[in-house]
Amino acid sequence: MTYRNVFLEIGKSPAEIEQRVNDTFNEIFYGADRFFETTEDGSMGYLVDTGNNDTRTEGISYGMMMCVQMNKKKEFDQLWKWAMTNMYLEDGENKGYFAWSVDQSGRKNADGPAPDGEEFFAMALIFASHRWGDGEGIYNYGLKAKELLRVCLHHEEMYGGHNMWNEDGLIKFVPGLEFTDPSYHLPHFYDLFAKNCFDEDKELWKKCAAASREYLKKACHPVTGLSPEYSYYNGKPYPDHEHFGGRHDWFYSDAYRTIANIGLDYEWADKNTDFGKWCKNTANNLQMFFESLPIDKRRGIYEIDGTVLEGTALHPVGLAATIAQASLAADGEIALKAVEEFWNTPLRSGERRYFDNCLYLFAMLALSGNYRIW
């Protein structure tokens, strides 16, 4: 498979692109503003959510994906050992899942999972198995991925709890609640899960991939391309303002990831399908929406129909990164302009740098042709 290097298209040389990707990884993991830390004995590592002073399955699994894409096996194994040692739930109603929040001492802050962590764990483990081969115990990456994927689909029958995907093949926000998060929908992952799971689950993962692609068409606004943070299964924004820290029916932090995922799906999957055409159209619509805004309104808060609300983005660098990653699917001058703007945007510093800079590195990998299927 040939991976598009969009940075070449804006005139950057192969050498400077490679240097920029490596510098970005090194800053996050080892630089002055790093948020990768290791235990005293060096056997485990974790990415710190610098805005909340904890470690999350989101961040640990993101870090594992970064490491397998960058061929950083040592750091990958440190992160995976942290997850299995401190996050894995050995018993209780969520047995077999991972606690979504753990403090830096390794103490669990929660006894439940966030499904985006599990799906990134599984995908990163599959890639690690293919890239480096399987080891023993927790480092038998391929087996651990298969076991996790089975638990996600069959938790109710295995342990009496809640599955992470509903009967229609749609991922839940959390296993016990019946709504979803558009940015959790990764059909390009589910295509690969179907090829790397236990045989009896192949058709279920194919069903999940098809269901998520149909869902995303409903969740993204047909004119702006914007999606909400949370939604009902029919794509309608979820209006609960009393729980989970306030509003999530708008285009805000979590939602930035949706268009980046759509861009990666377009890169990895068949571009000539109806969904591939939809991806291109949606990416173009989203980039045109931001291009149409006054410059001082381009890092704001929005209803998914494009209504500009009061306030500014909590993660403006992450927003720039995901708008640029949409260029994997988008075309034309606006797409390349978004990539140029992202190239000229530095990594974020300060307490909120974790989320922004994770999205930043993923966009660097994707737009340089280095976010690959292994």
Single-letter residue type at 117: G
Name the residue among 31, 170, 186, 175 with its Cα closest to residue 121: 186
d(CA 177, CA 195): 28
The dihedral through the CA atoms of 72, 75, 361, 260 has a sign that is: positive
* DSSP conformational letter for 310: E
The b/e string for 33-68 (b: 16+ C-beta within 10 A; e otherwise) is: ebbbeebeeeebbbbbbbeeebbbbbbbbbbbbbbb
DSSP element (H, E) containing 312: strand 308-312
Catalytic residue among 54, 116, 254, 356: 254
| Angle of CA points 365, 368, 373, to nearest 5° | 60
Largest CA distance in the chain: 55
CB atoms within 10 A of CB 90: 6
User: Which string of DSSP letters, residue by residue, matches 39-63?
Assistant: -TTSS-EEE-BTTTTBEEHHHHHHH
Strand partners, 107: none
Question: Per residue in 201-217, is it b (16+ CB within 10 Å) or e — as a string?
Answer: beebbbbbbebbbebbe
199 is catalytic: no
- 27, 49, 54, 58: the catalytic one is 58
Place of tokens 């720039």: 320
- d(C-alpha 175, C-alpha 98), whole Å: 12
Residue 147's CB is within 10 A of a number of other CB atoms, namely: 16
Active site residue 254: yes
Residues tagged active-site: 58, 254
